[in-house]
Structure 1
Amino acid sequence: MALARKNLSPGTLVGAYQLAEVIGKGGFSLIYLAHDLDTGAEVVIKEYMPKKLARRRDGGRVVPMSAEQALALHHGRRLFFQEVQALASLSHPSIVRVLDFFLANDTGYLVMPNERGRNLSTYLQQRRGGVSTTFLLEVFVPVLDALALMHQHAMVHLDVKPGNVHLRHGNQPLLLDLGAVHPLNRERARGSQVVTAGYSPVEQYFSAAELGPWTDVYAVGASIRTCMERKTPPPALERKKEDTLVSAREALAGRYPGFLLEAVDWAMQMEAARRPRDASALLDWLRPHLERYRAGAVTGAVDSRPSGVEAH
Structure 2
Amino acid sequence: MSDNDPLEPTQVVGAGTTTQQPQDDGATVVVSGVPTSQGTAAPAPGGDAPEAGLLPLGSRLAEFELTRVVGQGGFGVVYEAWDTDLERVVAVKEYLPVSLSSRAGDGTVSPLSQRVRETFDLGLRSFINEARLLAQFDHPSLLKVLRFWQEKGTAYMAMPFYRGDTLRQALNARPGGVDEAWLMAILDGVTQALAVMHAANCYHRDIAPDNIILLADSGRPVLLDFGAARRVITDKTQAITVILKPGYAPVEQYAEMPDMSQGAWTDVYALAAVMHVAITGRAPPPSVARLLNDSYVPLAGDAQLAGRYSARLLSAVDAGLGVRPDARPQSMAEFRALLGLADEAAPVRRPVVQDDDRTVILPPGGARTNAGASSGAAAAEGAASPAGKGRQVALAAVVVLALIAGGGAWWWMQSSSKGDAQLAAKTPAGTADGGPAAAPA
Aligned pair in 2 of structure 1 residues 151, 33: CA closer, same or farther (>3 Å)? Answer: same
For 1:101, the equivalent position in structure 2 comes to 148
Aligned pair in 2 of structure 1 residues 52, 148: CA closer, same or farther (>3 Å)? Answer: farther
**Residue 331 of structure 2 is aligned with which of 254, 278, 284?**
278
**Residue 93 of structure 2 is aligned with which of 43, 46, 53?**
46
Distance 2:256 2:53 in 1: 29
Judge which range, 267-276 or 250-259, deviates more: 250-259
Distance 2:300 2:73 in 1: 34
Kindly indicate whether residue 178 of structure 2 is the aligned counterpart of residue 127 of structure 1.
no
For 2:158, the equivalent position in structure 1 comes to 111
Distance 1:127 1:140 in 2: 17
8 A Cα contact 2:135 2:147, kept in partner:
no
**Residue 254 of structure 2 is aligned with which of 205, 216, 232?**
205
Distance 2:63 2:92 in 1: 11
Aligned pair in 2 of structure 1 residues 148, 113: CA closer, same or farther (>3 Å)? Answer: same
Aligned pair in 2 of structure 1 residues 106, 242: CA closer, same or farther (>3 Å)? Answer: farther
Q: Deviations over 1:162-199 (max 9, x none)?
A: 111111234211111244499xxxx99xx995522221
**Residue 143 of structure 1 is aligned with which of 190, 203, 219?**
190
Judge which range, 42-51 or 266-275, deviates more: 42-51
Aligned pair in 2 of structure 1 residues 181, 96: CA closer, same or farther (>3 Å)? Answer: farther
Distance 2:242 2:171 in 1: 26
Letter of the 1:206 counterpart: A
Q: Deviations over 1:221-266 (max 9, x none)?
A: 0111111122333333333343322222234333311111111111
Aligned pair in 2 of structure 1 residues 128, 26: CA closer, same or farther (>3 Å)? Answer: same
For 1:302, the equivalent position in structure 2 comes to none
Letter of the 1:269 counterpart: G
Q: Deviations over 1:26-55 (max 9, x none)?
A: 453322221112222100122223455444
- Could you state the TM-score of these two structures normalised by the residue count of structure 1? 0.80
Judge which range, 268-277 or 53-62, deviates more: 53-62
Distance 2:52 2:261 in 1: 32
**Residue 175 of structure 1 is aligned with which of 223, 228, 251?**
223
Helix, strand or coil at the partner of 1:76: helix
Kindly indicate whether residue 288 of structure 2 is the aligned counterpart of residue 240 of structure 1.
no
Deviation at 1:154, TM superposition (A): 0.9
Aligned pair in 2 of structure 1 residues 130, 196: CA closer, same or farther (>3 Å)? Answer: same
RMSD of equivalent CA atoms = 3.1
Aligned pair in 2 of structure 1 residues 272, 65: CA closer, same or farther (>3 Å)? Answer: farther
For 2:80, the equivalent position in structure 1 comes to 33
- Could you state the TM-score of these two structures normalised by the residue count of structure 2? 0.58
Gaps of 5+ in 1: 291-306, 308-312
8 A Cα contact 1:148 1:280, kept in partner:
yes
Helix, strand or coil at the partner of 1:156: coil
Distance 1:193 1:270 in 2: 19
Judge which range, 41-50 or 239-248, deviates more: 239-248
**Residue 340 of structure 2 is aligned with which of 269, 275, 287?**
287
Letter of the 1:90 counterpart: F
8 A Cα contact 1:198 1:233, kept in partner:
yes
Q: Deviations over 1:44-87 (max 9, x none)?
A: 12222345544444443333355332212201211221232122
Distance 2:103 2:229 in 1: 25
Kindly indicate whether residue 119 of structure 2 is the aligned counterpart of residue 72 of structure 1.
yes
8 A Cα contact 2:285 2:296, kept in partner:
yes
8 A Cα contact 2:336 2:342, kept in partner:
no
Aligned pair in 2 of structure 1 residues 124, 25: CA closer, same or farther (>3 Å)? Answer: farther
Deviation at 1:280, TM superposition (A): 1.5
Letter of the 1:196 counterpart: K
Distance 1:148 1:120 in 2: 20
Judge which range, 74-83 or 23-32, deviates more: 23-32
